[in-house]
Amino acid sequence: MNLRSIDLNLLVVLDALLDEAHVTRAADRLALSQPATSAALERCRALFDDLLLVRNGARMTLTPRAQALRAPVKEALAAVQQLLDPAPPSLQALAATVRIGLADALVARLLPALLARLQVTAPGLCIVCLPWQGGGDLLRQLDDGGLDLALSVLPPASGRLRRLELLHERYVVAMRRDHPAARDFGLDAWLAHPHVLVSSHGDTRGALDDALLASGRTRRVGAVVPSFLAALALLERSDLIGLLPSRCLGASEADRFASFAPPLPVDGFALALAWHARRDGDAAVQHVATLLRELLADPAPLSP
């Protein structure tokens, strides 16, 4: 293929089209007209000999070829950007969007403090928090360019993904402060009441159930919810009991919830921050990553 015959601006349009899977939204993002964006899509289709976007009912979906192009296109654009603008811009002058995948409890704890620091250091940055669907899904989104940063329980990263463990989190048993089990808490009191389980995939069993089974005990799961904040709302208004990461409970929850160490050993987990190597030179992403590391190293700003 003769590169001299290719308009590299097409890759910019293609990147937006693959992200949005929608011509109008891609046009708005690029400040282009819809006809110009549609014309660019047709040129991309000819260039890659693939439809790229196909109609599926009322929606447009990516073809397999388009899905495979997402990461390489982003890497190519990042390399060109670094080549043409090797000097990092002033943080104060940055105008960019950073997309972070993390659980809702971390959003509630971290985002106010993060935005406060960005207002001083890089006021032109916009933070987009995307839903948490498990660590494996976050790594896939980092790889295909749907995310810039992931903060979660993450499996070992491979390929060109960077993964940095920030802290080790522990679990606590949480319930409303006047819960009957709070008066004389122990294993029997814990198992005498139904539990709320947090699962983004609707699982009704977790690692705790296996640990209980090994000791000849079981628990009853009364509710499964996809978010930690929903679990806290249920705990406050019912006799449900939850096993939650300790950072789900901040200073503002101290008068609403009773919390205890689990009455049998429950392993904690490492909280890790990850990004793709293509973001190594991205000043906006790296600045947000630095601030997240600082906030998690010093929990004081996270207490409301």
pLDDT digits (tens, 9 = 90+) for 8-58: 788 899 999 998 889 998 998 888 898 999 999 999 998 889 999 998 888
pLDDT digits (tens, 9 = 90+) for 110-148: 999 999 999 999 999 999 999 888 888 898 899 888 899
Instruction: Give the pLDDT confidence score for residue 50 in this predicted structure.
Output: 92
Question: What distance in Å separates the CA atoms of residue 51 and residue 178, rounded to the nearest whole number?
Answer: 60
Pair 299, 109: CB distance under 8 Å = no
pLDDT digits (tens, 9 = 90+) for 185-211: 999 999 999 999 998 888 898 878 888
Tokens 């802290």 sit on residue: 167
Q: What band does 304 get if pLDDT is binned at 50, 70 and 90?
A: very low
pLDDT digits (tens, 9 = 90+) for 148-174: 999 998 888 777 889 999 999 999 999
**Position 303 pLDDT exceeds 50:** no
H or E element, residue 138: helix 135-144
**Position 179 pLDDT exceeds 50:** yes
| Angle, in degrees to the nearest 10, between helices 64-84 and 135-144 | 60
Instruction: Give the pLDDT confidence score for residue 3 in this predicted structure.
Output: 62
Tokens of 179: 């819960």
Could you tell me the sign of the dihedral formed by the alpha carbons of 33, 35, 39, 44, in that order?
positive
Residues 6+ apart with CB under 8 A from 55: 61
Instruction: Give the pLDDT confidence score for residue 5 in this predicted structure.
Output: 64
Determine the average pLDDT of the residues in 75-102: 82
Please give the full DSSP string across 76-133, using - where no structure is assigned. Answer: HHHHHHHHH--SPPPGGG--EEEEEEE-HHHHHHHHHHHHHHHHHH-TTEEEEEE---
**Domains delineated in the chain:** 3-84 (1.10.10.10), 94-168+270-302 (3.40.190.10), 171-267 (3.40.190.10)
pTM of the model: 0.70
Question: What distance in Å separates the CA atoms of residue 2 and residue 156, rounded to the nearest whole number?
Answer: 39
